[in-house]
Structure 1
């Protein structure tokens, strides 16, 4: 058992937070003594309710959390008809580009027609957040995290009233100051090594900057942390714990398609890039032919969130399906959000085992460091 300000706040055994969209990963991290946090944006309110109920059945009273993607800036839509008003803003040029890209790689049509989900599109717009929050606060969550900006006052107020901690991800000290003014309880210093939406400052530089700005507020280090040695380094920088995301993509419980995981296992730490070509905002992901196509001269610029996800949603469903069947063109395009730690992936393992290994190796490294003084 390790004790820090984070473990005291949450009543967990180890200062490790595991962020993932897979309920199985979340449950296993919490069962192993950390705090599993579910990425909620990919779920409709009804699906989220079911997933949180399932997690609670698995963790036996241990704490867990939820992460919401609440972008500070998005393309404006009409709340009266959100989906139609947003889709009308997608230029024909972009639609043609995606259609031609899929044809160039000979991506087949889906086996079954895919129906657009208004709820999932709304999740990428601030107007869709209240419905998710209603579900979150109907469950005994221990922490709610907000990504992509300062959490809206409604989120903070409802969390405070429910006795739920609020965490926010930051990439610069000025971001941290705004989050502190908004009343967050935990800051996550996310370095550029991280997968998904991230800034340009490295974790080694960013973490102590955020620790200095945070005062008594606990700081978690994120980005480039997938081993006990890296966790020990984060604690040495003044962090009260670590926020790990990419490492769970090497777990059995993670729901990422096998075709993507196979690419992860052969990738190096140089095979990722920050690109807006998936979400409309810079996000680190595995480089593939998809990104090469968007970067070619004459290609259109990615659209702002949530227009870019709307534009490419069907395309990625087709790519995932075809890649799962071994289609060479889809395999070349296939990708997912992943940090630079992908270069250390050697094999898949259970999420609980990964959690315990990171914590045990961290403890061992800290004990070794004591011998240096």
Structure 2
């Protein structure tokens, strides 16, 4: 299955698989697509180790990296060691009390381990903290680097061009696409509102052909609501040169999400997600839970901007995840994670490589069937 994307990335199939789990990245690339690692969850040292491991498993097959470099966010000051403290000082006491009271209402225990909310992971979400990640990324032979929150900064584009690395960027409107083309991207990802994580309000069926029309010779991947071969074939019919899939890998064995989250995914329907700011400070689709009900209740504070909101709730979610894994009733009610509307199609956990190969094979079969209609 050859398209402009397979030629650009040097892969066998126009399938890009995005996930925070190195094991998923490896299996997607092994299946003939391009695995892309969500890098912002790692410190620079951790990212270096993960990319090294991925390369050892792939033996030269291409893979990519995705970063979160927001165009707008709260800004801290100082170096990576002092940045978190300057950001934490901006969090209102009202928000801290709200989170503490919410956890108390659901009787969430303190937990045996605590996620450090003032560490380097928060720095990764501030524009000033991105260069350290980029230094690691460009020390490895990646095929693609993507920015998931707006046009890539000039330094990312310049370094990618110098290294011969494809620059991709996700967009949710035609206006976003124009700005990213002006920034010099090599590949656009038209992400519809059905997608998990940060997403806009326009559906993939509408957004994809709009972006394709604007993009000219720049290839476009369709994203949002794509988890099967039939959906991949539909994206190609809309003019996309391939697809970008994220949520489907959450139903894989290799994905690192807690078992308690995966059980909720398997039980969910496609209407059980919500687009909300209460996890990151920016609109992101996730599985709806009591956590969202509490933040939407009368008297609750508004979500803070990125990266203050994840800083505020980081330790809370470490406690919720730990308690949910132990079967705690209150934690299970609150438990959630980012996921798209395709969650309604999750039937069982499967190997990521099997998922990727089935999407590719079913797409080819559907395209062959459609060819007989002419």
Confirm whether residue 32 of structure 1 aligns to residue 17 of structure 2: no
In structure 2, the residue corresponding to 1:79 is in which secondary structure?
coil
1:212-237 CA distance string (max 9 Å, x none): 00000000000000000000000000
Aligned to 1:66, what secondary structure does the other structure show? strand
The residue matched to 2:213 in structure 1 has which SS?
Answer: helix
In 1: Cα distance, 2:39 partner to 2:260 partner = 23
Q: Show CA shifts across 1:77-119 (max 9, x none).
A: 1125311111111111100000000000000011134434521
- In structure 2, the residue corresponding to 1:365 is in which secondary structure? helix
Counterpart CA distance in 2 for 1:156 and 1:245 is 23
Q: Where does residue 355 of structure 1 map in the other structure?
A: 356
Q: Check the 8 A contact 2:171/2:189 in 1, yes or no.
A: yes
TM-score for both structures, normalised by structure 2: 0.99
- Residues of 1 paired with 2:207 and 2:193: CA distance? 9
Q: How does 1:234-253 map to 2 (within 5 A)?
A: 234-253=235-254
Matched position secondary structure for 1:243 = strand
Return the alpha-carbon distance in structure 1 between the equivalents of residues 46 and 302 of structure 2. Answer: 33
The answer on whether the counterparts of 2:229 and 2:364 sit within 8 Å (CA) in structure 1 is yes
Question: What is the correspondence of 1:1-373 to structure 2 with a 5 Å cutoff?
Answer: 2-80=1-79, 81-116=82-117, 118-373=119-374
Divergent runs of 4+, >6 A: none
Mean alpha-carbon deviation: is it higher for 188-197 or for 113-122?
A: 113-122
C-alpha distance in structure 1 between counterparts of 2:336 and 2:107, whole Å: 17
- The separation in 2 between residues aligned to 1:274 and 1:356, in whole angstroms, is 30
The 3-state SS of whatever aligns with 2:41 is coil
Distance 1:221 1:115 in 2: 36
Instruction: Tell me how far apart the structure 2 counterparts of residues 83 and 226 of structure 1 sit (CA, whole Å).
Output: 37
Q: Distance in 2 between matches of 1:116 and 1:93?
A: 18
Q: Distance in 1 between matches of 2:114 and 2:206?
A: 47
Instruction: Indicate the SS of the match to 2:40.
Output: coil
SS of the equivalent of 1:154 reads helix
8 Å CA contact 2:181, 2:215 repeated in 1 = yes
Q: In 2, distance between residues paired with 1:371 and 1:174? A: 37
Flag structure 1 segments of 5+ consecutive residues without an equivalent: none
* Distance in 1 separating the partners of 2:74 and 2:129: 14
Q: Is residue 25–residue 54 contact of structure 2 (8 Å, CA) maintained in 1?
A: yes
Residue correspondences, number: 372
Superposition deviation, residue 317 in structure 1: 0.1
Is the 2:275–2:285 Cα contact (8 Å) retained in structure 1? yes
